[in-house]
Amino acid sequence: MKIALMMEFSQAAKNPIVLNELQAVAAEQDHTVFNVGMDGDNDHRLTYIHLGICASLLINSQAVDFVVAGCGTGQGAMMSLNAHPGVYCGYCIDPADAYLFAQINNGNALALPFAKGFGWGAELNVRYAFEKAFTGVKGQGYPPERKESQVANAGILAEVKAAVAKDNYLDTLKAIDPELVKTAVTGERFQACFFEHCQVEEIAEYVRGVLAA
């Protein structure tokens, strides 16, 4: 699995801590991590709004399989990511959240609070959360006897989201202020991940056009 980590400006200083824990867990499962957001306070500035754009581009182009995002509370990042087609983002405070989201909702993104409650032992909390999110088979249901209904509901939600977002993905992307999109995709690490692994050439062409404008 290819996993993208993205941090916004208010929590950028914590990126090395979170990245270290995510890479440690990913290495045990043979997953690949791409650090596409901010890496320190002086890096390319992104808000949680930009994170939603970045996540949608990476997921809808199949450049990555999963996104780990967040902000101070995690709420803004979750709302921003879920605003986009094809992105199903859960809110994760602790390892139980990560496990239940993986088993019941089987989404493709998590939003974590990197300020609220991020104190002593915070690195252990995120490590254990990543272990629960990425270890084992997802979508098995919890409790197990409710698997059938939970899998069905996850599929229904995907159908509802597709129905609400009636335009195709590129149309929704083009409806966003192009300056927001350009800021979101200007980072060198994002571009390296996106252009190397993008599976949808139409999306790649649009991003190239935004960058050239």
Instruction: List, for residues 100-136, the tens digit of each pLDDT value.
Output: 999 999 999 999 999 999 999 999 999 999 999 998 8
Per domain, the residue ranges of the chain are 2-212
Alpha carbon 201 to its chain centroid, in Å, reads: 21
The domain made up of 2-212 has a fold known as: Ribose 5-phosphate Isomerase B; Chain: A, (3.40.1400)
Task: Report the chain's mean pLDDT, rounded to a whole number.
Answer: 95
Predicted confidence at residue 165, as pLDDT, reads 77
Tell me how far apart the alpha carbons of residues 82 and 56 are, in angstroms, rounded to a whole number.
Answer: 9
Predicted confidence at residue 164, as pLDDT, reads 82
Give the contacts of 115 (CB within 8 A, at least 6 positions apart): 10, 11, 71, 72, 73
Give the contacts of 163 (CB within 8 A, at least 6 positions apart): none
CB 200 within 8 A of CB 62: yes
Predicted confidence at residue 2, as pLDDT, reads 98
pTM reported for the whole predicted model: 0.95
Predicted confidence at residue 67, as pLDDT, reads 98
- CA gyration radius for the chain? 16
Residue type, 48: Y
pLDDT in tens, 71-97: 999 999 999 999 999 999 999 999 999
Query: How far is CA 151 from each of CA 4, 61, 156, rounded to the nearest angstrom?
Result: 25, 24, 9
